[in-house]
């Protein structure tokens, strides 16, 4: 008997976690039949994206998950080997990165985002982390990613829904190197779905991918191109900050990091 991706996520949760409580399910009512939806999640534990995918599977019937390319290429880390083997390539949409650990960073490969965009346009619910997890910190990082907000800019009629995952533990758990400990402890989890977000359109953003390709290649940008590139990047960064604040609102204060101050002053 073949197991669906949703079945596999359920199996993963039973191995490593106790009760999984979903909150904010009413916000899924904003998704119309055939609608385009991107779920942007926290990435505090190593399982946040999978746990968000699990809850969305239960209510939407199926999802695809955006994952760093390690899950498909090499599987160098235990958590990645398990995740990749359970998911299967057809359920993962790769984002490429370079470096490892604290030096790890995403490269903006337009082909990656074109693939994700096509899935969203086909009304496939897509789940991706709102930032790249680089190190073990038990709260949101000081800086979010721009992938989700970029997709919101280049995909018409899309809803971006923040999803925060709160693994109920005072200390970090459910990370690489902690799989046995996690399976023994089986911490409970809350998955909190936020309200759909809308972002102001960034004029000319369709030019961004070409400028990034030139900037990462051997092409010297003109002065005007550099100004345009930095303008796009700053605009995306501002929208990423808005997304991070919404994620922070869904989490307890101790896991909000520096975004707690922005909630108080916002």
Q: What is the DSSP string of 135-159?
A: S--SS--S---SHHHHHHHHSTTEE
Q: What fold, for 5-265?
A: Glycerol-3-phosphate (1)-acyltransferase (3.40.1130)
pLDDT averaged over every residue in the chain: 87
pLDDT band at 96 (very low <50, low <70, confident <90, very high): confident
pLDDT at 236 over 70: yes
Three-state secondary structure call for residue 63: coil
H or E element that contains 13: helix 5-16
pLDDT band at 70 (very low <50, low <70, confident <90, very high): low
Cβ neighbors of 146 (< 8 A, separation 6 or more) are: 233, 236, 237, 239, 240
pLDDT of residue 101: 47
pLDDT of residue 80: 55
Which of 206 and 84 is assigned the larger pLDDT? 206
pLDDT in tens, 113-158: 999 999 999 999 999 999 877 678 999 999 999 999 999 999 999 9
DSSP code of residue 204: T
pLDDT of residue 63: 92
Domain borders along the chain are 5-265
Give the C-alpha separation, 41 to 165, whole Å: 7
In angstroms, the Cα distances linking 177 to 28, 74, 77, 214, 245 are 34, 18, 9, 38, 29
Mean pLDDT, residues 89-105 taken together: 66
Judge contact between 19 and 188, C-beta under 8 A: yes
State phi, psi for 189 to the nearest 5 degrees. Answer: -140, 140
Mean pLDDT, residues 206-235 taken together: 91
Give the C-alpha separation, 212 to 107, whole Å: 9
Give the C-alpha separation, 54 to 185, whole Å: 20
pLDDT at 90 over 90: no
Token match 């009629």: residue? Answer: 157
158-167/189-193 β-pairing: antiparallel
Ranges of beta strands (E only) in the chain are: 20-23, 36-41, 64-68, 92-95, 97-98, 105-106, 126-129, 158-167, 189-193
Token match 């949409």: residue? Answer: 93
pLDDT in tens, 35-46: 899 999 999 998
Among residues 210, 259, 264, the alpha carbon closest in space to that of 232 is found at 210
pLDDT of residue 5: 85
DSSP code of residue 197: B
pLDDT at 76 over 90: no
pLDDT at 74 over 70: no
């Amino acid at each position: 008997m073949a197991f669906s991706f949703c079945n596999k996520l359920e199996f993963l949760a039973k191995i490593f976690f106790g009760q999984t409580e979903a909150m904010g399910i009413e916000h899924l009512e904003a998704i119309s039949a055939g609608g385009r939806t991107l779920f942007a999640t926290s990435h505090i534990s190593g399982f946040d994206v999978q746990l968000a995918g699990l809850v969305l599977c239960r209510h939407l019937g199926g999802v695809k998950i955006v994952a760093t390319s390690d899950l498909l290429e090499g599987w160098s880390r235990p958590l990645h080997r398990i995740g990749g083997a359970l998911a299967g390539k057809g359920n993962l949409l790769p984002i490429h990165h370079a470096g490892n650990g604290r030096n790890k960073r995403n490269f903006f490969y337009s082909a990656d985002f074109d693939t994700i965009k096509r899935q969203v346009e086909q009304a496939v619910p897509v789940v991706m982390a709102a930032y790249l997890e680089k190190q073990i910190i038990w709260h949101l990082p000081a800086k979010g990613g721009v992938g989700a907000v970029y997709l919101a800019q280049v995909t018409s009629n899309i809803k971006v829904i923040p999803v925060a995952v709160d693994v109920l533990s005072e200390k970090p758990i459910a990370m690489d190197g902690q799989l046995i400990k996690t399976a023994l402890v089986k911490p409970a989890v809350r998955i909190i779905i936020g309200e759909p977000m809308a972002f102001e359109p960034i004029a000319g953003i369709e030019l961004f991918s070409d400028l990034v390709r030139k900037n990462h290649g051997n092409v010297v940008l003109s002065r005007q191109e550099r100004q345009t590139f930095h303008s796009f990047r700053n605009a995306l960064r501002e929208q990423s900050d808005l997304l991070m604040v919404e994620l922070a609102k869904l989490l307890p204060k101790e896991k909000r990091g520096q975004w707690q101050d922005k909630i108080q002053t916002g």
